[in-house]
Structure formats: C-alpha cells, structure tokens
Structure 1
Amino acid sequence: MKLQQKNILIAPLNWGLGHATRCIPIIRALKENGFNPIIASDGEALQLLRLEFPELTILELPSYKINYPKKGMLFRWKMFLGLPNIISAVADEQKVVEKWIKEFQIVGIISDNRLGVRHSKVPSVYITHQLNVLTGLTTFFSTKIHQKFIKKFTECWVPDVDKKTNLSGKLGHFEQNDLNVKYIGPLSRFLKVKSEKKFDYLILLSGPEPQRTLLEQKLISEFKEIEKPVLFVKGKIEDQQKIHQEGAILFYNFMTTLQLEEAFSCSEMVICRSGYSSVMDLAHLEKKAFFIPTPGQFEQEYLAVKFQKEKLVPFVNQEDFKLQKLSNISDFKGFSSFTTETDWRKLFSLFERK
C-alpha cells in the first residue's frame, strides 16, 4: 500500500523572477524526498513555475503590487507609499493560507519572502538572504521590521554559507540575532554542462517594471551595431515563446531552465542585474559576468560594489552603461565554484514532526 505524500506549500514572492527561480531546486528536492509540493504565487513568478512544473497544483496568492519608479532615487519613497498594499496583501495571504491548510491538508510551508504565508500550527519556513535589509538611512528600521516578521516563522533558511567567504556579505550575516537561522548553502536551478562557444555575450534581463523595460531599451540601443554574436533573453514570461534575430542579436522573450543551462554554457560572458539569485547561479556555473544593478535597489548596488572590490565582477550604473565599459572585463577573475551540498533530508525533517 502506497503512503499518501505530505503536501508542502511553497510560495515565492513575485518581485522579478529570482525568488521563483531559486525555489525550483527546493521544489525538485521536495519531490525527490517524497513530498508533494503545492506552488503558490502571483504574476510572472507564478507563470514561470507553472511552465516548469505543469504536473503540480498551482494556486494564486494576492499581489503585493510592487512597482519601481522610473528614477532610482525615488525607490525608497515609492516603496513607502506602497506599504498599505503590502500590508493588505499580507493580511489576505494569511486568510487564504488558513483556508488552504484545511482544503489541501498542508503539513508544511516554505515561504520565500512572502510575509503572510505562515501558520502558527504548521511548521513554517521563511527563506531570505536579507537578514539585514539595506534601505540607506532607514536600514536600521527596515531590518528591525523584517526581523520581527521572520520571528513569526518556525525557521529561517538563508541560501548561503555561514563562513567568512560567502556570497551575501552583510546582507545575510550579522553577529548577534535571536532568529532560528539555518544556512542551507547557495541555491541554483542549473546544472553545469559543457558546450562549444556560440555567443560572446548572454544578456539576461529580469526584475519589476518599468526598470526591466528601461534596461532592455538601453542595451538594444548600445548593442544594435555589434558584430559579435549576442543572445538576448528579455525575461518576459508570456504564454508563448518568441524568438527573432536582429543583426548579430538573437532575441528570446524567455527561456526554460534547460534552455538557459545551454545558454550559459555556450556564452562567454553574462550581462545581468546583480540580484542575489543571479549571483548564486553565476557562482555555481563559474561564469564571468558584468553587472548593471537596478537603480535605487540598495541590495543590488551593495552586491555589485562588493564583487567589484573583490575583483570578481565589474559593474556600472544603468544610466552610465556604454558598450566600451565591457572592455575591462579581462581585469576581473569572474566567479569560481561555490557549490555546497545541501542536506535536504535533514532540513525537511521539520515537516515530519508530529
């Protein structure tokens, strides 16, 4: 007689695609360890996971309605003005999760930065690489607020290592805390494969609008006369995949995980945002890269500066990008392997408790 699989709700935040993509290896691990993942999110994050896991139950959560301003300097104030929407969505999340626990007999929850996806009677995990939330002059307050929410969860999983040499730096590490933190190692959905070089540059876009579109327009303008082969993935999750060629540039609106694995392996250098999920992928695949942080997003700006200081990856601000800026990439080492083995069985034992 086959035992019924235990249902685990896994819910990434829809803020760019990074939260969703780094949940892919967790979903795979849940399946491999005999659990039944139920996916919940909204927007493009939900669309992406639906494409990756068509066989799984997919549920829709309330949107946080996060929008970026066109000017990065206004980001903090835009987020402040959007707080009522976030607070409302968190309250709605809690109501719908309460309902789903009964309806789907959920025995565990994994939330990637969704503050309301938890329950006091169900083991609830919160995933974040931002124990410290950088917001400029308001960092102390944003960090305290975030940690207050984290304490409501059973455990907090940080996708990094608890060592001096790490990827997240001060974002994911601080000396004293009373949070139940577990460092689970960097996460990547990709396998490292070998392929012959086809492209000099892989441009990989992601992130909320309008900044994704603004960067797309900027890069198309700069690369339109290039003669070297370029693979340009716009990061627009749509119902159908669209492919077209313009000069030396091959455009995709989006790629599946397997397609991106091949794209990374056959491209010499990657141009992308300095989001943490991208950092984990690049480190896992040992790629050379060039970063263009999202304007006003302190986390990405911090990571870009950190890796440039470490002589790993250069960066430039979005408004300053020119094709000539790529000429100094040879002065940087690129990422070396940062692969660690995650003990999923031990982590998932949380959901086996009576």
Structure 2
Amino acid sequence: MPKKRILVAPLNWGLGHATRCIPIIEALENHSFEPVIASDGVALALLKKEFPHLEALELPSYKIEYAQNGENFKWKLFKQIPNMFSAVQNERKRTLQWVNELKLDGIISDNRLGIHSSKIPSVFITHQLNVLTGNTSWLTTKIHHYFIKKYNICWIPDTSEKPNLSGKLGHLKNSSLNLKYIGPLSRIKKKKTATLYDLMVLLSGPEPQRTLLETKLKEELKNYDGNILFVRGVVESEQKITQRFNMTCCNFMNTEELELAFNQSKVVLSRSGYTTIMDLAKLEKKAFFIPTPGQYEQEYLAKKLKKKGLVPSCKQDDFKIERLLEIDLYRGLQDVGKNDVSWKELFTVFQ
C-alpha cells in the first residue's frame, strides 16, 4: 500500500518556521507518511540540508523586507501587503496544481496563507492567533482568522492552559476557529554534556536586522571573559567555522550540531523568536533576549518573559556586554510541554 503524501510548507521568515517543522516531518516519516517539502529561500535551503532524501519544491517568495529602523517596521510591512497577497494567490495556484500532479493526501502549512485545498485535509500551524501590530492589531488578527478558517484545523505549538509560552499571542478568550493545542515543538533534546562555551550567540531572522545585530554583538563581545560560540544563522552551501581568540564562529548548524552546541553552552544570547523560546524551554536554559526592533511579537514575548522573572532582555540599541550579568538574576525558561499530544492522534486528520 503506497504511503500517504503530506505537503509540509513553512513560511520563509527567518529560520523559525522551518526549524519547528523538522519534528513534524520526522514524526510523519515515523508514522509511515511520505512528507513533501515546500518553501523558498533560507527556509527551503535548511530543510533540504536536513532531509536530502525528500522531494523539495519551491514556492513564490513573500518578499518580506525589514526596515533599517525599527520605528518604521510596521509601515514598511503594510506597504508590502500587496506583494504578500500576490504571493498568496500564486501559492493557491501552485497548491491546486500540486494536489493533482503529485497526488497529495494532506497539507500542513506553517503560516503560509495560500497553501490549502478543499479536496484534501489541510492543517494550519501558528502561535499567533492574535497578530500584534500596535493599534492595528484588531485588523491584522481579523485578516489572519479569515485565512485560518480555510483550513480543517489549526494547530498551536503551545499548551492550552497556564503555564504556557505564547501568552496572549496563542490564546483567545472566545473563538469559532477549530483549534488544537499540540504542545511546544522543538527539534532539540536535553542531554548531559560537558560545558564548552560560556556563551552561545544564536542569530536568525530577515535582513537587514540580522546583519545589524551581528555587527553590534561582535564589537560588544570583544572583551567578553569566556568562550563564545557564535552561530550567524546564514544558511550557505558549505559550513564555515573560524576561530579567533575566545570566539568560535560558524555560519549555520544542522539540528544534530545545534542540539550538541545548545547542551554544551551555559547561557544563550538570541532574538526572542517563538521557535527559539520553545527550544530554550525544552532545554530549561538561561538566556538573554534582544527582540528584533519594531517586531511587536518578539517585543511582547521578551517583555512577558522578563516580567515573569524568567529571561532578561533589552532593546538592540541599548545592549552592552554588562547586560549579560543580569542573566543570573532570572530563573531561566522552563519546559511546559511535558504532556504533549500524540502524533498518532494528530495525524488522524489525514485518515
């Protein structure tokens, strides 16, 4: 009997959507499904490296660019809405074509709004049931719900009750949406290893903000007293590792390498992206967050975790090496996903 073919399509917005799809793709394979990968840019490049044996398809890019200045973030994003809608329409056409040509049996879309079909079961994944954009949050949330309703079910990678990781982002007071909380998704497992690095820096996210933060941190960390592992978050054809004084620098790591590096590191300095938070919670790590300037979601998550006494954070412009001393005053992230929903149960949607 041929395996059922499931299209897995994460949004290419940094690496977070792609990396949290890794455990889903692995679970599909373990439950006798045949995943087909679809994305664009660095997200597609990363998944092709992780799963070279799987069919990989290219989708039209949303062409999302970040503002150089965080204060202009929202307006730059709003100006790009026509491009995004155009990409969504192109996704719809491509999906309809693939359903027939590739004989697909199901779809899992991580925040790609046009990847669904009325002919086969379609699942949407998001941790943003409330899309925060300041005084326009009601509008962006309404638009998001309009698209979510086109899917059979929406999986939220978090727990339904407190304590949870996403707060008001992933929890609604009332909703007519078909929602299922599946527990935090992480490709990383906690292991006992010797500590090699006093600090691990993990970068990701769209340009130009990724490069701006990399430049700032390399300057600030020149006088850091301890061993640093600096993962730039730039997916290239070859892995490049350089050593300079107390800093080991590499452009990217695969899952196995990243898991080992996380476990070998005492503390982590990174963006407050939701996928990174899920990974650090799984490892019960201490960290310091610098949210992407102007990105409401990351700013909200950083503020929430700081207020709860879990992880310190500051604005990108305000970061100085001395701020890392604050880490000892906070408890660190805790694993909230110990009662995860079983994959077998989740995948019944494709039966």
- TM-score normalised by the chain length of structure 2: 0.99
Match of 1:147 in 2: 145
Please tell me the residue identity of whatever aligns with 1:188: S
Of 170, 175, 189, the residue aligned with 1:177 is 175
Q: Deviations over 1:208-250 (max 9, x none)?
A: 0000000000000001232310000000000000000111110
Contact 2:155 2:179 in 1 (8 A): yes
Instruction: Please report how far the alpha carbon of residue 328 of structure 1 lies from its aligned counterpart in structure 2 after TM superposition.
Output: 1.5
- Residue 338 of structure 1 and its aligned partner are, at CA, apart by 2.1
1:343 aligns with 2:342: yes
Q: How far did residue 174 of structure 1 move?
A: 1.1
Q: Is the 8 A contact 2:125 2:154 kept in 1?
A: yes
Aligned to 1:44: 42
**Aligned ranges for residues 1-354 of structure 1 at < 5 Å?**
3-340=1-338, 341-352=340-351
Q: Residues of 2 paired with 1:156 and 1:337: CA distance? A: 23
Cα distance in 2, alignment partners of residues 95 and 256 from structure 1: 32
| 1:71-118 superposed Cα distances (whole Å, 9 cap, x missing partner) | 011111111110111000000000011111111100100000000000
- Aligned-residue RMSD, C-alpha: 0.7
* Amino acid across the alignment from 1:22: R
Contact conserved, 1:224 with 1:247, CA < 8 A, in 2? no
For residues 33-56 of structure 1, what are the alpha-carbon distances to aligned partners after superposition, in whole Å with 9 as ceiling and x for unaligned?
010000000000000000000000
Q: Note the C-alpha offset of 1:332.
A: 0.2
Instruction: State the distance in 2 between where 1:191 and 1:345 align.
Output: 20
Q: Which moved more, 1:328-337 or 1:265-274?
A: 328-337
| CA deviation after TM superposition for structure 1 residue 32, in Å | 0.4
* Cα distance in 2, alignment partners of residues 246 and 293 from structure 1: 27
Amino acid at match of 1:172: G
Aligned residues: 350
Does the CA-based 8 Å contact 1:160-1:186 persist in structure 2?
yes
C-alpha distance in structure 2 between counterparts of 1:338 and 1:55, whole Å: 33
Q: Which moved more, 1:220-229 or 1:166-175?
A: 220-229
- Give unmatched runs, 5+ long, in structure 1: none
Amino acid at match of 1:183: Y
Name the TM-score, length of structure 1 as normaliser. 0.98
Mind listing any 5+ residue stretches in structure 2 that lack a counterpart?
none
User: For residues 72 and 227 of structure 1, what CA distance do their matches in structure 2 show?
Assistant: 31
Does the CA contact (< 8 Å) of 2:163 and 2:336 recur in 1? no
Measured after TM superposition, the shift of residue 193 of structure 1 is 1.2
What's the CA shift for 1:337?
A: 2.2
- 1:271 Cα deviation after fit: 0.3
Distance 1:164 1:20 in 2: 26
Q: CA deviation at 1:339?
A: 2.8
Decide whether the 8 Å contact of 1:62 with 1:93 is kept in 2.
yes
List 4+ stretches of structure 1 deviating above 3 A.
none
1:106 counterpart SS class: coil
Give the letter aligned to residue 128 of structure 1: T
| C-alpha distance after superposition, 1:318-350 (max 9, x if no partner) | 011000011121110001222332311111111
Partners of 1:188 and 1:280 within 8 A in 2 = yes
